[in-house]
Amino acid sequence: MENEAAVVINFRLTQTGTSTNDTKETDFRERYTIELRKKRQCGINNYYGVDELLEERKQVNQQQMKTPGRRGEVIKHEEINNEMSRRLLSRG
C-alpha cells in the first residue's frame, strides 16, 4: 500500500513539474519572439547594413556547437525560422 501511495505522489510531482516547464517554455518563446521582432532584416537583395536576424542565427548556431542538445537553442532556431517566415509572408 505504501508503494502505491509513493507512485501516486511521484506522478503528481512530475505532472506539476511538467506544467511549470511548459509555462516556462511558453514564456521564453514569447519573450524571444518579441526580441526577434525588434531586430532588423535587410532583405534578400540588399547588401547594405547588418542583418541582425541572420547574426542572431549565427550566434545560436555557435552556441549550439558549444553545448549541443540544449532545449533553449532548439526553441531559438524554431522561433527564428517562424520570424523569417512571417516576414517573408508579410511582404507578399
pLDDT in tens, 31-79: 999 999 998 876 655 566 668 888 999 999 999 899 888 889 999 999 9
Residue 79 lies in a domain: yes
Residue 51 lies in a domain: yes
Based on the structure, what is the number of domains in the chain?
Answer: 1
Provide Rg for the chain, Cα atoms.
19
Residue 30 lies in a domain: yes
Provide the domain limits for residue 87.
Answer: 25-91
Residue 29 lies in a domain: yes
- Looking at residue 34, its pLDDT comes to 93
Assigned C-alpha cell, 18:
511538467
Q: What is the pTM of this model?
A: 0.69
Residue by residue, DSSP assigns 18-71 as HHHHHHHHHHHHHHHHHHHHHS----SS--SS--HHHHHHHHHHHHHHHSTT-H
